A and B are shown apart, each in its own frame.
Chain A
Amino acid sequence: MAGLSLDLLALQIFTGLALGAVYVLLAIGMSLIFGMLTVVNFAHGAFFALGAYAGFLVLTLGGNFWLALLAVPIVTGLLGMAVEWGLVRHLYGRGIDDPLLLTFGLAYVLVELIRIFAGTQGLPFDTPDALAGAVDIGIGYFPLYRLFVIAMTVAILVLLWLFLERTRLGLIIRAGARDPEIMRVLGVDTGRVWRLVFGLGTAIAGLAGLLAAPLQGVSPEMGNAILADAFVVTVVGGMGSLAGAILAGLLVGVIVSLTALFAPEAGDVAIFVLMAVVLLIRPQGFFGRAGLMS
Chain B
Amino acid sequence: MSAAFLTRAAGHRALLAALFLLVLPFLLPFRATAVNVLIDGLFAVGFNLVYGYVGLLSFGHAALFGGGAYATGLALLRLGLPWYGALVLGLVAGAAIAGIIGVLAIRTRGIYFAMVTLALAECVYYLAYQASGVTGGENGLRGIVLTKIDLFGLTLDFVDPLTRYFVIAAIVALALAALSRLLASPFGAVMEMVRENEARARASGVDVRAVKMLAFVLSGAFSGLAGGLQALHLAIVPIETLDYSTSGMVVMMCLLGGRGTFFGPFIGALVFLLLQNLVALISSHWQLPVGLVFMACVLFFPRGLWGQVTRWRPA
Contacts and interface: CB of A to CB of B under 8 A. Distances in A.
A224 B130 CA distance: 19
B302 interface: yes
B108 A112 contact: no
A160 interface: no
Nearest to B302: A98
A106 B248 CA distance: 12
Nearest to A275: B119
B134 interface: no
Given A228-B119, A275-B119, A235 B255 contact: no
Contact of A112 (B252, B291, B299): B291
A227 B294 CA distance: 20
A294 interface: yes
B115 A98 contact: no
A268 B291 contact: no
B298 A101 contact: yes
Given A105-B295, A111-B287, A272 B112 contact: no
Contacts, number: 118
Nearest to B123: A272
A227 B287 CA distance: 19
A239 B122 contact: no
A232 B107 contact: no
B291 to A, nearest CB: 3
B104 A280 contact: yes
A283 interface: yes
Which of B109, B123, B290: most chain A CB closer than 10 A? B123
Contacts of A115: 285, 287
Contact of B287 (A112, A275, A294): A112
A245 to B, nearest CB: 13
A116 B285 contact: yes
A279 B111 contact: no
B296 to A, nearest CB: 9
A232 B119 contact: yes
A8 interface: no
A265 interface: yes
B141 interface: no
B131 to A, nearest CB: 10
Contacts of B298: 91, 98, 101-102, 105
Contacts of A269: 123, 126-127, 130
Interface string A164-204: 00000000000000000000000000000000000000000
B108 A279 contact: yes
A234 B111 CA distance: 12
Contacts of A40: 111, 114-115
Contact of B109 (A108, A235, A294): A294
A159 interface: no
Interface string A274-294: 011001100100000000011
B251 interface: yes
Nearest to B199: A294
Contacts of A239: 111-112
Contact of A235 (B112, B244, B292): B112
B111 A231 contact: no
B287 A108 contact: yes
A104 interface: yes
Interface string A93-111: 0101110111011101101
Nearest to A115: B285
Contacts of B198: 294
Given A98-B302, A104-B248, A232-B119, A293 B109 contact: yes
A134 interface: no
Which of B107, B115, B126, B198: most chain A CB closer than 10 A? B115
Interface string B100-122: 00001101111110111011101
Interface string A259-273: 000000100110010
Contacts of A100: 57, 111, 114
A91 B296 CA distance: 12
Contacts of A113: 288
A231 B115 contact: yes
A255 B109 CA distance: 26
A94 B255 CA distance: 15
Contacts of A283: 107-108, 112
Contact of A293 (B110, B285, B302): B110
Contact of B116 (A34, A90, A102, A275): A275
Contact of A109 (B108, B109, B115, B288): B288
B84 to A, nearest CB: 33
A235 B119 CA distance: 10
B166 interface: no
A57 interface: no
Give the 7 A-B CB pairs with smallest separation, nearest first. Answer: A108-B291, A272-B123, A268-B126, A109-B291, A293-B110, A105-B295, A231-B115
13 contacts: A97-B57, A105-B291, A106-B291, A106-B295, A108-B287, A239-B112, A268-B126, A268-B129, A272-B122, A275-B119, A276-B104, A279-B105, A294-B110
Interface of A: 34, 38, 40, 87, 90-91, 94, 96-98, 100-102, 104-106, 108-109, 111-113, 115-116, 224-225, 227-228, 231-232, 234-235, 239, 265, 268-269, 272, 275-276, 279-280, 283, 293-294
